[in-house]
Structure 1
Amino acid sequence: MMNRKLGTNGPLVSAIGLGCMGMSGAYGQSDEKEAIATIERALELGHNFLDTADYYRLGHNEELISQAIKDKRGKAFLSVKTGQLVTAAPDGSMTPGPVSGHPDFLRNAVFYSLRRLKTDYIDLYTQARVDPAIPIEETVGALAELVQKGVIRYIGLSEASADSIRKAATVHPITALQIEYSLWSRDIEAEILPTIRELGIGLVAYAPLSRGFLSGEIKTPDDLKDSRVNMPRYQGDNFFKNLELVEKITLLATEKGCTPAQLAIAWVLAQGNDIITIPGTKRIPYLEENIASEHVQLTREDLQSIEAIMPAGIVSGTRYPERFMNALNQ
């Protein structure tokens, strides 16, 4: 098992964690027993980084995790995001609303998370988006108070700009930045990645498989029957242009003796020892496939071949609809 330090002064965690969002219906229906078994299997294999948010189906995801880590709290590193206000449909789909980084909101939200998770502390507590109405210094100041009280251990940010990250770090050390990073999402390489490396902040890369597309298992638009149908990368001509890229990666993975998903995850891990990644799944076979990515060794020639197929910016379409893109890089 590969472990990595989360930031210069942070804890040691598994390099490949588990994104738990899909267990609460974000990408179609899921089976709770199977989801709990998947979390238990991750811990059994030593992959301790469990990523959730208080808004995943309005707390359902945290309650699910609490069942899986019962009597195993010491084996789990709990990463919880907060601050994104949502409305949830009965099928588990979520519609993002406003963002709140108000200190009072955070002080209140953390205790609801503790109650649902049935724990007295959260390892990494992350502001899911930067609230443009609240100075980031005030938001981080409230999180620093929670560290002092012992209810959270480390502070994280998500989808923050380099400027916001710098401001936040003047108030309290930031342990990790969670942001989308994959073969398809490389815009952080220009400014954000150098900034967090300068400041000793670890990177938690979410969606390393670009919501499943880089797994090679999505062949037609009909294979998408959830919120992904509303995302530009998976619509119209963009879908088929991006599918051509995945087909090329699949051929390369076959030559390498791994799956395209494993190749994509290995690529993320190969971008630096300060990076961990949290591919999401709700089933044990996919969990074990993802975890096996840490055994895929990419040579310089492999990385050059991948770069030739998927250079930065080649993907067609944005990762979110236009109305949600404004919440990124704040």
Structure 2
Amino acid sequence: MGKLIVSLSPHAHGTDSVERNMYGVIIALMPALIVSLVLFGIGSAIVCATSVLACVVFEWAIAKYILKSQRTTVCDGSAILTGLLLGFNLPSNLPVWIIIIGALVAIGVGKMSFGGLGSNLFNPALVGRCFLLVSFPAQMTSWPQAGQLTSYLDAETGATPLSVMKWAIKSGDASVLEQLPGSLSLMIGMPDSCQAGAGSLGEVCGLALLLGLAFMLWRKIITWHTPVSVLLTVFVLSGLLHLSNPAYADPIAVLFSGGLMLGAIFMATDYVTSPMCGRGQIVYGVGIGLLTVIIRNWGAYPEGMSFAILIMNAFTPLINTYIKPKRFGEVTKK
């Protein structure tokens, strides 16, 4: 007769794991990475490689020599993902030493100071990105045009679609928006009359990012609640602004400009810093969309996605407190 083993729940185990999900997100980022290599060449390769390597080294060093941890976490994919996302939020001509500082802040301040993976309050890659934006504004807002394979060495820079939109709002002149590329160019990142491919290296091709979204939804790495609520909120609010005043860009152009797609799909959906249940994720996503529209149109910066996500990261514990999933077996009182 076999032994009867009594153990604590849960008794049913799935194949889900931190490593599986982290590397799944990394795979989802590959289309955008390939496009960035095609559009920005050596600059994209240097920025991404430096960012990933620095994040991995800093996480290993901090865990081993500062936190004195016996367990290394560099193989779970989280440091690689943080480095890749940080690189995606940087211009392709950013000096290596600035990238290393950003990686140190992302890992050391944004992640490990809270206790490591699963304990951080804010998205580490965005912590690093916003620190660099505040500390090195000139270097962080120098955007090489797409199509320059040696953009790290001799890049020609200029205005981005978001800066064109910002100028149209400030001047009140809707004709300024004629400088914007067509919707197809914004979607695929190919430059035309304006710098459709100008911006951070991971945000210029909306189609590649949408392919990543489809992959993650298919693999059930994320749910639809956060990305859809962010994008839908921005679309509706931008559409209302455009109808009220043509100086505001049309919602399609807004969706495919700047880091909106990258943020909504890959940054706002971070497991640790976003709400646990679907209803909470919708509230969270609507908040991000609202703040993004406000900052983009009336704030000091043309882009507001990073700040919007970090602000809503701070509200995640509050959302989790007041919006909870129904407990298993709970009977609703009538």
TM-score, normalised relative to structure 1: 0.30
Pick 1 or 2: higher relative contact order, CA cutoff 8 A, min separation 6: 1
* More strand by percentage: 1
* More helix by percentage: 2
Larger-Rg structure? 2
